[in-house]
């Protein structure tokens, strides 16, 4: 058995985020350009290739995998792939290498396709999902997503809850765009039975939007919300970067992801696999290791293990996102979030 995944800072890597496609049925203003050029099909890993790489990571100690995109549920055959991955959740993996096992398989989605897929996700062993939702106003939702329909996403959330899935709503907070809706989000999540996670906008890829105009540090948001809601400390932690409080009035959790105002790099346990087989050890770095090339050139699993070890030896100690009004600086990777794996 290969050794555990440990980077040069001594951080144990136990969480893999996997983009299964760069395609999406929305064009959210903080994520994509309106006129996106998507990857040729032959550049994208097929499901056998994706499963092979996931299995390698699981055998090295990855215990949680999150499927992302783009929008993962627009990829044809996704339900079958999720079902195959769900076998790694079982304690009796008779037809798999039992040296590796997943504790959790999760998924991030914009919710538009959930009415058709929620039951299959639950049947595969997924127990919780994240749904990206940045406005509860239909006109504003359409402007943010550039082509999405609020009623369709809300139907998706209902379908997920009816299938027994726990739901966390992910909301990117944007000044002058949706920062006046946060109380509505808290109330609606309480009524829906969902947790809420607020996220600072990140400078990734050219989207046609000026991030400086929309950036808000979540410390300011938390201070403002605490004037109207009772935010109770909690030691709840998931595998990701969110830091949670409990809202006494609703009984649900409120999370904060703060890549700019307060980075969480010292506890990073994550790497990302793009849909083209590029391994990114840091969301904020351009450095990548081409695992697809190794596979398609006939490389062995040992060759892939070696490439992963080399990549981890160069994992940055911290990311370098920056948005500054003082000198107009916006610093981040040129690639879009949809390419990276969330």
Whole-angstrom distance, CA of residue 200 vs CA of residue 266: 18
Q: Is 265 annotated as a binding residue?
A: yes
Which secondary-structure segment (H or E) carries 111?
none
Is 132 one of the annotated binding-site residues? yes
CB neighbour class for 47 (10 Å; exposed up to 12, middle 13-18, buried from 19):
middle
What's the Rg (C-alpha) of the chain?
19
338 assigned binding-site residue: no
24 is in an annotated binding site: yes
**What six digits make up the tokens of 39?**
């990857």
Which tokens belong to 148?
A: 């999405």
Widest CA span in the chain: 60
Annotated binding-site residue? 222: no
Q: Is 189 annotated as a binding residue?
A: no
Tell me whether residue 109 is annotated as binding.
Answer: no
17 is in an annotated binding site: yes
Specify the 3-state DSSP secondary structure of 153.
helix
70 is in an annotated binding site: yes
Question: What is the three-state SS of 41-69?
Answer: HHHCCCHHHHHHHHHHHHHCCCCEEEEEC
270 appears as a binding residue in the annotation: yes
Looking at residue 12, the DSSP 8-state letter turns out to be: B
Residue pair 310/289 in contact by the 8 Å Cβ criterion:
yes
The answer to whether the annotation marks 271 as part of a ligand binding site is yes
Is 282 annotated as contributing to ligand binding? yes
Per the annotation, does 171 bind a ligand?
no
Instruction: List residues forming the annotated binding site for GTP.
Output: 17, 66, 108, 270-272
Instruction: List residues forming the annotated binding site.
Output: 17, 24, 28, 30-31, 66, 70, 108, 132, 202, 265, 268, 270-272, 282
Instruction: List residues forming the annotated binding site for S-adenosyl-L-methionine.
Output: 30, 70, 132, 202
């Amino acid at each position: 058995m290969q050794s555990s995944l440990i980077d040069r800072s001594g951080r144990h890597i136990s969480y893999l985020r996997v983009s299964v496609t760069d395609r999406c049925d929305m064009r959210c203003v903080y994520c994509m350009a309106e006129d996106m050029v998507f990857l040729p099909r032959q550049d994208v890993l097929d499901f056998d290739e994706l499963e092979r790489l996931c299995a390698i990571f699981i055998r090295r100690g990855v215990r949680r995998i999150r499927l992302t995109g783009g929008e993962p549920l627009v990829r044809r055959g996704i339900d079958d792939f999720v079902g195959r991955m769900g076998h790694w959740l079982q304690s009796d993996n008779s037809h798999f290498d039992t040296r590796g096992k997943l504790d959790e398989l999760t998924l991030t989605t914009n919710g538009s396709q959930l009415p058709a897929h929620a039951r299959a996700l639950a049947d595969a062993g997924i127990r919780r999902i994240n749904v990206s939702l940045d406005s509860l106003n239909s006109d504003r939702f359409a402007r943010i997503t550039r082509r999405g329909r609020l009623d369709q996403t809300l139907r998706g959330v209902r379908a997920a809850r009816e299938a027994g899935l726990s739901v966390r709503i992910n909301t990117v907070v944007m000044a002058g765009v949706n920062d006046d809706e946060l109380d509505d989000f808290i109330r609606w999540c309480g009524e829906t039975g969902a947790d809420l996670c607020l996220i600072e906008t990140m400078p990734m890829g050219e989207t046609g939007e000026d991030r400086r105009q929309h950036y808000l540090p979540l410390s300011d948001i938390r201070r403002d919300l605490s004037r109207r809601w009772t935010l109770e400390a909690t030691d709840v932690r998931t595998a990701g970067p969110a830091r949670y409080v409990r809202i006494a009035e609703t009984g649900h959790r409120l999370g904060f992801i703060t890549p700019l105002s307060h980075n969480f790099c010292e506890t990073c346990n994550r790497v990302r696999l793009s849909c083209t087989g590029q391994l990114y050890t840091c969301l904020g770095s351009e450095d990548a290791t081409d695992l697809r090339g190794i596979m398609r050139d006939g490389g062995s699993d040992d060759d892939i293990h070696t490439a992963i070890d080399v990549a981890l030896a160069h994992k940055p100690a911290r990311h370098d996102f920056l948005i500054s009004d003082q000198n107009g600086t916006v610093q981040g990777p040129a690639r879009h979030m949809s390419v990276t794996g969330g």
